[in-house]
């Protein structure tokens, strides 16, 4: 198989971290690696647990001192994965919301020639568990509004479980992304709308995090800026004033 690196921002996940790593390492792939990205926000034993797996040669703990939040950790994980020669990069949550058992479908679709593979809770075979009704409405409503404003056609524009061929991510200047929160997933899908992509069903398990009203208003603000910002995100396409 092609070298595949899973990028996984983590913080305060000592209760689930060991189990998730065990499940990923148990998958039948010799060239599958895990890069958990952690910062000073994490105060429990998450980092120690991750480092205890580094001697396997397939887990690399990345402590990102320059972190400004979870999205910056995603992007730093991409940088490190590309630097280390990943052909496929898969992004997923580290708190148990995404199932390691669903990783193989991403590798299969990338092997089939798809450039982007998007996890979807809203297609046949997908679903959400233990998520409050307001979160389901925001995810569904956010997808509908994003497709309307951006001209995209995906069934799920806000899921954080996705996979890419390295060539896709190499096109982007990650420092030019606008989103620092929930809108990031939509931003990435918009920039990749013309790539050969496919949605695959995922089963999302709700975590402990809450969604604040400020996050929603910030997301709406960014939504209407994405079309203009696209020219600056793509490397060599122009300089932002």
What is 202-234 written as a DSSP string?
-EEE--S----HHHHHHHHHHHTTHHHHHHHHB
232/221 Cα distance (integer angstroms) = 18
- Give Cβ neighbours of residue 119 (< 8 Å, ≥ 6 apart): 98, 102, 106, 126, 156, 159, 160, 161, 162, 199, 200, 201, 202
- Give Cβ neighbours of residue 213 (< 8 Å, ≥ 6 apart): none
Query: Which fold does the domain 4-233 belong to in CATH?
Result: Spore Coat Polysaccharide Biosynthesis Protein SpsA; Chain A (3.90.550)
Q: pTM here? A: 0.92
pLDDT confidence of residue 240: 44
The pLDDT tens digits of the residues spanning 119-173 come to 999 999 999 886 666 567 778 888 999 999 999 999 999 999 999 999 999 999 9
The pLDDT tens digits of the residues spanning 14-24 come to 999 999 999 99
49/179 Cα distance (integer angstroms) = 30
The pLDDT tens digits of the residues spanning 99-111 come to 999 999 999 999 9
DSSP letter string, 71-97: HHHHHHHHHHHHHTT-SEEEE--SSSS
Q: In which band, very low, low, confident or very high, does the pLDDT at 213 lie, cut at 50, 70 and 90?
A: low
């Amino acid at each position: 198989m092609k070298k595949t690196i899973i990028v996984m921002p983590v913080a305060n996940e000592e209760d689930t971290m060991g189990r998730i790593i065990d499940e990923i390492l148990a998958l039948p792939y010799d060239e599958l690696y895990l890069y958990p990205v952690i910062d000073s926000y994490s105060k429990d034993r998450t980092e120690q647990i991750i480092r205890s797996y580094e001697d396997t040669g397939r887990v690399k703990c990345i402590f990102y001192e320059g972190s400004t939040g979870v999205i910056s950790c995603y992007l730093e994980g991409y940088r490190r994965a590309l630097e280390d020669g990943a052909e496929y990069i898969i992004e997923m949550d580290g708190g148990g919301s995404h199932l390691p058992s669903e990783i193989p479908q991403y590798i299969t679709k990338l092997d089939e020639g798809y450039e982007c593979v998007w996890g979807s809770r809203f297609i046949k075979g997908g679903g959400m568990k233990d998520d409050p009704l307001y979160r389901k409405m925001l995810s569904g409503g956010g997808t509908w509004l994003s497709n309307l404003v951006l001209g995209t056609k995906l069934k799920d524009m806000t899921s954080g479980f996705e996979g890419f061929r390295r060539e896709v991510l190499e096109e982007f200047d990650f420092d030019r992304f606008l989103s620092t929160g929930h809108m990031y997933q939509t931003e990435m899908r918009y920039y990749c709308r013309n790539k050969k992509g496919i949605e695959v069903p995922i089963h999302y398990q709700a975590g402990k995090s809450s969604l604040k009203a400020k996050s929603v208003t910030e997301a709406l603000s960014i939504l209407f800026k994405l079309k203009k910002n696209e020219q600056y995100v793509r490397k060599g396409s122009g300089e932002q004033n």
